[in-house]
Chain A
Amino acid sequence: MSIWSYANPVKFLALSAKVQPVLWVTSISCVVVGLIWGFFFTPDDFRQGSTVKIIYLHVPSALMAINAWFMMLITSLIWLVRRHHVSALAAKAAAPVGLVMTLIALVTGAIWGQPMWGTWWAWDPRLTSFLILFLFYLGYIALWEAVEDPDTAADLTSVLCLVGSVFAVLSRYAVQFWNQGLHQGTSIPVATGERTVSDVFFYPLLVSMIGFGLLFLALVLYRTGTEIRLRRAQALRVRLERAA
């Protein structure tokens, strides 16, 4: 059985109905455990004080904000190449989730930046890139809303996602050239494996990151199911109108 058999909406819905309860329970318990562990059972940082604890919201949401766009890029490509409707609807379903994740990352970053950097906002490359990513999400969602024919909308938004990805990467490096950074580098470099975060902070962060990832997956599955059923309802309504 290949993965493409789940392009069939019936099979997709059956599988997602089976997986979803497990996903919801594990993701929410991971987020709750990660946040409570992080907020109440870790020591304060000796320089940052208790503000360090915002990391358990900030890093996972920023991670998912980027990965959501990445997922939309892949599903858009699948739609353009293989014309699976589920794929296009999954991209549509992921966009608002990604938008909210971007917003959470921006807001928590601002709240942390006020006591630490002494400013809510700085035109730092990372902050600016995230603001641009936020604008891309807005434009993508607005285009979905504006086009009436669903297949044309899926086509146009897919191409926008591809072109937007190229320009998002370009902007990422352009803003680095334009202004020097204030934001610290990553604390958990995957490539070298040399963490600058102590284990005390790292393990709750890891749990929280896993939780956010699973939560994103659960939300996207749920929203995709809604979109599929909405599409079915519209098809039924059209058929009824024609019969009448």
Chain B
Amino acid sequence: MIALLIRDLRLAFRAGGGFGLGLAFFLIVVTLVPFSVGPQPALLGTIAPGILWLGALLACLLSLDRLLALDYEDGTLDLLLTAPLPLEAAVSVKALAHWLTTGLPLVLAAPVLGVLLNLPVPGYGWLVISLALGTPALSVIGTFGAALTVGIKRGGLLLSLLVLPLYVPTLIFGAEAARRGAGGQDVSTPLLMLAGITLATIALMPFASAAVLRMGLR
């Protein structure tokens, strides 16, 4: 398992792995927002938590189609399927590697980009906490979507169509927690719900992803 994790991380960091592309995409989304809604600081401050959450979600989505597709093309996935390691564990490690290379950098970059959007001062801590709690769920759900579409040629757009509705609950509670944090309100309810969603998806989704992967590669 650790060998697989290290392999995935190494592939992501070296050229062609697309590490940093998600971050760059996040930066561009946040940069474009003031151009589309206008540069008024008050308006930007109000919508900043939502925009940052949406940007992180889209950046996560963008990197999903290479999560399993590259391994499918070069045959690694067939090896994993026959390996002694349970497929459930393999997809969990894949999701973890995806989170470490996409989710974690987004969490760390979010406060910096928050400055660009004039995020209110009390919001920074809660933004980072809500993203840190929520992005693992995005990675795990995204792995399920990637497993569903792995055998389909040009499945990228279909992947987005399938995964985005599944992201709705996570986005609602995550953005709500960040918004309440920025407004100085009590954040415990949405934050607890978000943590619940993340833990439940981490516990259950690998089984669905592995089942789907076995069906798709049969």
Cβ of A146 under 8 Å from chain B: yes
A170, B169: Cβ atoms under 8 Å?
yes
Known A175-B172, A177-B193; judge A167-B165 contact (CB<8 A).
yes
Contacts of A167 in B (CB 8 A): 165-166, 168-169
Majority secondary structure, B binding face:
helix
Q: Do most interface residues of chain A lie in helix, strand or loop, or is the interface mixed? A: helix
Q: A155-B215, A156-B148, A159-B215 are in contact. Are A164 and B168 (CB under 8 A)?
A: no
Establish whether residues A159 and B211, one from each chain, have CB atoms under 8 Å apart when the complex forms.
yes
B158 within 8 A of A: yes
Stretch at the interface among A36-44, A130-138, A232-240: A130-138
Q: Is A46 an interface residue (CB 8 A)?
A: no
Is A181's beta carbon under 8 Å from chain B?
no
Are A174 and B173 neighbours in the complex by a CB distance under 8 Å?
Answer: yes
B65 on interface, CB distance cutoff 8 Å: no
- Which residues of A, 138-176, contact B by the 8 Å Cβ criterion? 138-139, 142-143, 146-147, 152, 155-156, 159-160, 162-164, 167-168, 170-171, 174-175
Q: Is the CB of A171 within 8 A of B168?
A: yes
B54 → chain A closest CB, angstroms: 14
Count how many chain B residues have C-beta atoms less than 8 Å from C-beta atoms of the other chain: 28
Q: Does A4 contact B (CB under 8 A)?
A: no
- Chain A interface size, under 10 / 10 to 19 / 20 to 34 / 35 or more: 20 to 34
How far, in whole Å, are A111 and B166 apart by their CA atoms in the complex?
Answer: 29
A139, A152, A162, A177: the one contacting B172 at CB < 8 Å is: A177
CB distance from A226 to the nearest CB of B (A): 24
Q: Please give, as numbers and ranges, the residues of chain A lying within 8 Å of B211 by CB-CB distance.
A: 159
Q: Does B161 reach chain A (CB closer than 8 Å)?
A: yes
- Cβ of B176 within 8 Å of any chain A Cβ, yes or no, is yes
Say if the beta carbon of B164 comes within 8 Å of chain A: yes
Interface string of B146-169 (1 = CB under 8 A from A): 001101100100100110111011
Q: Are B158 and A143 closer than 8 Å at their CB atoms? A: yes
21 contacts across the A-B interface (CB closer than 8 A):
A139-B158, A139-B162, A142-B161, A143-B149, A143-B158, A146-B152, A147-B151, A152-B216, A152-B218, A155-B215, A156-B212, A159-B208, A162-B208, A167-B166, A167-B168, A171-B165, A171-B168, A171-B169, A171-B172, A174-B193, A177-B176
A residues with a Cβ closer than 8 A to B are 132, 135-136, 138-139, 142-143, 146-147, 152, 155-156, 159-160, 162-164, 167-168, 170-171, 174-175, 177-178
